[in-house]
Chains A and B, each alone.
Chain A
């Protein structure tokens, strides 16, 4: 692992230990009450869920254009994080909605496009796992659709007004609510970078393993 990995991992762990303290001290929301505090982990998860398919899509586009294995490995790593953070977002969202909206799920543009984005992440991984030879290029094509879906997910709440809060709630947050939120965002971003590094390391090791098997066969 790179030299910065261990200090960064320790910092990330520390941030995740401190975050519940900051969240507990943050005020409840006037309409939703205590359940609003799911937001402090839901929104950073959702942002990582938007970042991961972008990384996957851009890396896939580069792989299709240049054919470098490093781009393909980055895309594969990001696809796995799409599925991970997508699952966390799609689980914490309904838990919040149950109390705030009185329902687990509504088929509005934000929730539906998020579900589609998550399924595109799964489609990428399934293609890579079971697609056989040539699946790398096919999966890269799928990843482009995943990346194109990201801006749609983001703006969907502003174009189609539903019960999901619009993107404007974040800049309007008072300091008492904004501080813990941005702290959690940075903790999740650091975690995302660390997980990407670990996942890329795994792909590099697998490439080395394949090369060794070929060398042994010769």
Chain B
């Protein structure tokens, strides 16, 4: 084996090992992603159990409550406005009919 080849073989081996490692990781990644979290059969109060991992939950919680209350409020306002508009039209038409009756 020439000196240049003897230096090249370990290098090729290293490249092959790294390539195999990358290939294995790439093959395992989707499998790891496909594992869904386990479903919960019951809800347990926090009590003495260790505190859950602190991922910011407050924005999601506050957002949910704000969306529900704002959505319900918007619907009540929309319903009231529609009711008011129809009642006004009814009153106007009833007045028109009365005037016609007199005429």
* Chain A interface residues toward B at CB < 8 A: 16, 20, 27-39, 41-42, 45, 84, 87-88, 91-92, 95-96, 98-99, 101-102, 106, 161-166, 168-169, 172-174, 176-177, 191, 195, 198-199, 201-202, 205-206, 208-209, 212-213, 215-216
Contact = CB atoms under 8 A, between A and B. Distances in A.
Given A84-B75, A202-B86, A30 B44 contact: yes
B72 A191 contact: yes
B39 A163 contact: yes
Given A27-B47, A172-B42, A205-B90, A95 B75 contact: no
Nearest to B40: A165
B61 A34 contact: yes
B63 to A, nearest CB: 6
Interface in B8-67: 36-47, 49, 51-55, 57-58, 60-61, 63-65, 67
A33 B7 CA distance: 57
B43 A99 contact: no
A168 B41 CA distance: 7
Q: How many B residues touch the partner, as a band?
A: 35 or more
Given A165-B39, A209-B86, A209-B90, 8 more contacts: A30-B44, A32-B52, A33-B57, A38-B60, A96-B64, A177-B43, A206-B86, A215-B97
Nearest to A98: B60
B67 A31 contact: no
Contacts of B76: 195, 198
Nearest to A198: B79
Nearest to B73: A16
Contact of B43 (A20, A42, A162, A173): A173
A202 to B, nearest CB: 5
Interface SS of chain B: helix
Contacts of B94: 212
B36 A162 contact: yes
Contact of A95 (B46, B52, B63, B87): B63
B68 interface: yes
A82 to B, nearest CB: 12
Given A84-B75, A95-B64, A106-B36, A31 B93 contact: no
A92 B49 contact: no
A209 B64 contact: no
Given A84-B75, A177-B45, A212-B93, A28 B60 contact: no
Contacts of A177: 43, 45
Nearest to B50: A30
B46 A27 contact: yes
Given A34-B57, A88-B67, A161 B46 contact: no
